[in-house]
């Protein structure tokens, strides 16, 4: 499977920095592979194409966190199923 260059071009217009684009697209592709619902219809079976198309459509954004902050700008899956933080009651 190869990446769709048209989707990549559209995504580059929304996130011009190639390093940031690759991280955002990879995180979203992983979410899609783990069962997240796509926000667009895409003919490709490649999750990276779906992620790039979502970025190109302006449906995904990113933000810089502080160093050591594990939170993600992208939606997370199953957060309600995560184990409680130390000190929290179940």
- CA dist 15 and 58 (Å) reads 10
Q: How does pLDDT run along the chain (90 residues), one tens digit per residue?
A: 567 889 999 999 999 999 999 999 999 999 999 999 989 888 888 999 999 999 999 998 888 877 666 555 555 554 444 455 555 554
**Domains of the chain and CATH, by start:** 5-63 (3.90.940.10)
């Amino acid at each position: 499977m190869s990446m769709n260059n048209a989707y990549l071009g559209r995504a580059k217009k929304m996130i011009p920095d190639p390093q940031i684009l690759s991280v955002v697209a990879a995180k979203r592709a992983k979410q899609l592979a783990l069962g997240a619902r796509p926000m667009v219809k895409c003919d490709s079976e490649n999750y990276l194409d779906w992620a790039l198309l979502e970025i190109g459509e302006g449906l995904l954004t990113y933000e810089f966190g502080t160093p050591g902050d594990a939170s993600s700008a992208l939606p997370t899956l199953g957060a309600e199923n995560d184990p409680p933080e130390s000190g929290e009651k179940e």
